[in-house]
Amino acid sequence: MAKSRTTSASIHPLDAILGTRAKLAVLRLLAASAVPLSCQAMCRRAPMAYRSIDLAVRDLVGVGLLERIGESHERMYAIVATHRLVPALLGLIRAESDYRPALRSELATVAAKAEGVLAVAIVGSGGAPAEGIGQPVHVVVVTESDEAVHRWGDRFVAASDGLFDRFGVRLRVTVYTRATMAKMWATRTASAERSVASAERVAGSPLADLLTHEDANV
């Protein structure tokens, strides 16, 4: 069977521009930087392997999206502002940078005026939240009483469909009372400590502050 031919960059330039994670990383870094960056600097900030960044830069220069700046020994690169696709790409990158904060804001709206709710946070498994494609966003809610557990658990679950329509994510909601959370925290693992330390606060007290306070009361 014959190999498929590479799509022409002049017909489908997005194939060349957005084809790899490294290219997206380069575009995000340069869009956020006020000055040109070298491949080495982008490797440190990504962080990604030098070869991946170097190949990405070469392709993006090849389609005219990046340009080399200056004649110094260390090659520096910047986005070509006059390229036809740059305004749309930068707009997409700006929208992406606001994506997670907007999701937290919508969750905070659900939590607004929630009597008896002490904390709402997005948590990961053993570290910072980083869901894979199709995986739900894990939301932890800590309440004062058992009665609030069912009420606010149902409220967040009910919001899940609307969030999927706007963000393409599902929620996995876990609701604990303060007492239950304190008992679990007393026998915590290192993985649980990392998850709590890196949790994204949505509403109420940060999880780490709430549980540190529980430690102090033991």
Domain boundary among 45, 75, 97: 97
Domain boundary among 97, 121, 138: 97
Q: Does one domain contain both 74 and 158?
A: no
Q: What is the pLDDT of residue 193?
A: 87
Contact between 169 and 136 (Cβ < 8 Å):
yes
Q: What is the domain count for the chain?
A: 2
Q: Does one domain contain both 113 and 209?
A: yes
In a domain, 6, yes or no: no
Q: Does one domain contain both 167 and 193?
A: yes
Q: What is the pLDDT of residue 217?
A: 52
Residues making up the chain, counted from first to last: 218
Q: Does one domain contain both 40 and 52?
A: yes
Q: Does one domain contain both 56 and 144?
A: no
pLDDT per 10-residue tile (average), the chain, 218 residues: 57 87 96 95 94 95 92 88 95 92 90 81 71 83 83 81 88 89 88 88 90 60
Q: What is the pLDDT of residue 215?
A: 53
Please, is 175 exposed, middle or buried when counting C-beta atoms within 10 Å of its C-beta (0-12, 13-18, 19+)? buried
How far does Cα 129 stand from its chain's mean position? Answer: 8
Q: Does one domain contain both 81 and 104?
A: no
Domain that residue 36 falls in = 13-97
Domain boundary among 97, 112, 147: 97
**Alpha-carbon gap, residue 48 to 97, rounded angstroms:** 19
Q: What is the pLDDT of residue 133?
A: 77
The CATH number that applies at residue 169 is: 3.30.460
